[in-house]
Structure 1
Amino acid sequence: MVQQADAVRRVPLSRDRVLRAAVALADDAGIESLNMRRLAQELGVVPMALYKHVANKDQLLDGMVDVIVGEIHPPVHGADWKSAVRQRILSARRALLRHPWASRVIESRVTPTPVVLEYMDSVIGMFRTGGFSVDLTHHVMHAMGSRILGFTQELFGNTPSVDPETQAVMLREMAGKYPYVAEIAIAASHDEESVVGSGCDDQFEFELALDLLLDGFERLQQQGWTSTDQARRGDST
């Protein structure tokens, strides 16, 4: 064990090593456990040594996001725009699923890093080179939202697991006040690992929504849709 720790200390400290160690620590112990002192212990250095590579916690988190985005597969050359976008976004989702804490960190960032901007630029470029106008692409990006980076904010959030009997009582009570919500909850038969507990198959729902959006974008592109025309139609109603 001592020899192993000495070997870790002998590896030169670098920004990349610091960031990857931080990602590994967040994966193993949760993002809440991450601080400079704990990270320094993992690397076998004094905390001050970290500040030569990351100025503060925010810079550390930005760099960790860059590591995750760096795991997203590059665009598929020669593929049509829809296939290329779909494959890129599903690769982003796989990266996010490997690091469950990452979506919260991405949402907390105020300014995107150059790595994130480069990724977004490449996705935008797939639509533009696929024949989409600047106008339509602008609205496409709004519609896609965080799905571009492989995650969405789930409607029901995290629900604590309960035993079947208690769940049945909760559903009966819900049905009296919120019949349509209860109807959906009762009808669904889903994975235990879903964000809604006995709720939706998250991967299926993500891909369904992605495919619906891409099909809709394709139809608008083929129709020569513009926001100006849409605004005019709205004014005439």
Structure 2
Amino acid sequence: MTQLAEAARRVPLNRDRVLEAAVTLADEVGIESLSMRRLAQELGVVPMALYKHVANKEELLDGMVDTLVSEIDPPVPDAPWKSAVRLRVLSARRALLRHPWARPVIETRTTTTPAVLGYMDGFVGMFLGGGLSVDLTHHVMHALGSRMWGFTQEVFDDSAGRDAGGQQSMPVEVRTAMAMQMAESYPNLFRIALAAAHDDESVVGSGCDDQFEFEFVLDLLLDGFERLHEQDWTSR
């Protein structure tokens, strides 16, 4: 970040530069270590200089999500709606894999910025442009949920026993004892837990949400949406 600080002293500060620097810093040190004071140090300015461009830490995080949105590919013109939606979702997932901090930040946002509204509006436009009814599109957006951002909200959190880098920190003997207890108490859950090996390098966050699992569910949803559209489905 030394080069960034040197460049910041030469170029006047603006909101875009603050957000880009925050994204870079969070990529390097993690979202937990990102603070207004540390960001100011990296930019070579006093903390008060940042508040001319972002009112507080929450507005900074909102802006970082906006920066993430700008990295997501726009809808492909004239593509069939299923392909257009799939491509945009997978582009969002690639952005999240580049920025490990992004998922927890997205999940904790309470303010919907114009950039986020525009991103969501684009999805609605792809469905409506593909001929889906307003009624069906309303329910489709609820079903798609967090997947429009490129991740699945897991039912179970398997982050317990892992360090900040996502690696197992629990001793092998403890994990073995816990597995034996689970096998005895919850045999059905234990069977499916052993049924598949997941690619940890392609997981966004924690859980089983690796690339294969994510695309498996995404394709099931898109096929289901298409079938309902062809059947002229209505909620009324």
Normalization by structure 1: what TM-score? 0.88
Assess if the C-alpha contact under 8 Å between 2:151 and 2:209 holds in 1.
no
Assess if the C-alpha contact under 8 Å between 1:191 and 1:197 holds in 2.
no
Looking at structure 2, the residues matched to 196 and 24 of structure 1 have their Cα atoms a distance apart, in angstroms, of: 18
Q: Which amino acid aligns with 1:149?
A: W
Looking at structure 1, the residues matched to 74 and 180 of structure 2 have their Cα atoms a distance apart, in angstroms, of: 48
Q: Which amino acid aligns with 1:8?
A: A
Q: Which residue of 1 aligns with 2:65?
A: 65
The equivalences for 1:1-237 within 5 A come to: 5-157=5-157, 158-159=159-160, 160=162, 161=168, 162=170, 166-193=174-201, 200=208, 202-228=210-236
Shift of 1:166: 4.5
Looking at structure 2, the residues matched to 115 and 196 of structure 1 have their Cα atoms a distance apart, in angstroms, of: 22
Assess if the C-alpha contact under 8 Å between 2:81 and 2:126 holds in 1.
yes
Assess if the C-alpha contact under 8 Å between 1:61 and 1:105 holds in 2.
yes
Assess if the C-alpha contact under 8 Å between 2:19 and 2:63 holds in 1.
yes
Normalization by structure 2: what TM-score? 0.89
Higher Rg of the two aligned structures? 1
Assess if the C-alpha contact under 8 Å between 1:194 and 1:200 holds in 2.
no
Looking at structure 2, the residues matched to 52 and 185 of structure 1 have their Cα atoms a distance apart, in angstroms, of: 50
Q: Which amino acid aligns with 1:29?
A: V
Shift of 1:184: 1.0
Shift of 1:192: 4.3
Shift of 1:58: 1.4
Looking at structure 1, the residues matched to 205 and 63 of structure 2 have their Cα atoms a distance apart, in angstroms, of: 32
Q: Which residue of 1 aligns with 2:165?
A: none
Assess if the C-alpha contact under 8 Å between 1:156 and 1:196 holds in 2.
no
Paired residue secondary structure (2:89): helix
Assess if the C-alpha contact under 8 Å between 1:188 and 1:200 holds in 2.
no
Paired residue secondary structure (1:53): coil
Residues 145/6 of structure 1: CA separation in 2 closer, same or farther (3 Å cut): closer
Assess if the C-alpha contact under 8 Å between 2:93 and 2:151 holds in 1.
yes
Assess if the C-alpha contact under 8 Å between 1:37 and 1:47 holds in 2.
yes
Shift of 1:16: 0.4
Shift of 1:112: 1.1
Assess if the C-alpha contact under 8 Å between 1:21 and 1:39 holds in 2.
yes
Paired residue secondary structure (1:135): helix
Shift of 1:197: 11
Query: Where do 5+ consecutive residues of structure 1 fail to align?
Result: 229-237
Kindly provide the CA deviation profile for residues 186-216 of structure 1, in whole angstroms up to 9, marking residues without a partner as x.
Answer: 2222334476999746110000000000000
Residues 113/176 of structure 1: CA separation in 2 closer, same or farther (3 Å cut): same
Shift of 1:59: 1.1
Aligned residues: 228
**Larger CA deviation: 7-16 vs 210-219:** 7-16
Looking at structure 2, the residues matched to 4 and 100 of structure 1 have their Cα atoms a distance apart, in angstroms, of: 21
Shift of 1:35: 1.2
More RCO (CA 8 Å, sep 6+): 2
Shift of 1:174: 0.7
Residues 12/209 of structure 1: CA separation in 2 closer, same or farther (3 Å cut): same
Residues 5/61 of structure 1: CA separation in 2 closer, same or farther (3 Å cut): closer
**Larger CA deviation: 78-87 vs 52-61:** 52-61
Shift of 1:8: 3.2
Paired residue secondary structure (2:217): helix
Shift of 1:154: 2.1
Residues 217/190 of structure 1: CA separation in 2 closer, same or farther (3 Å cut): same
The percentage of aligned residue pairs carrying the same residue is: 70
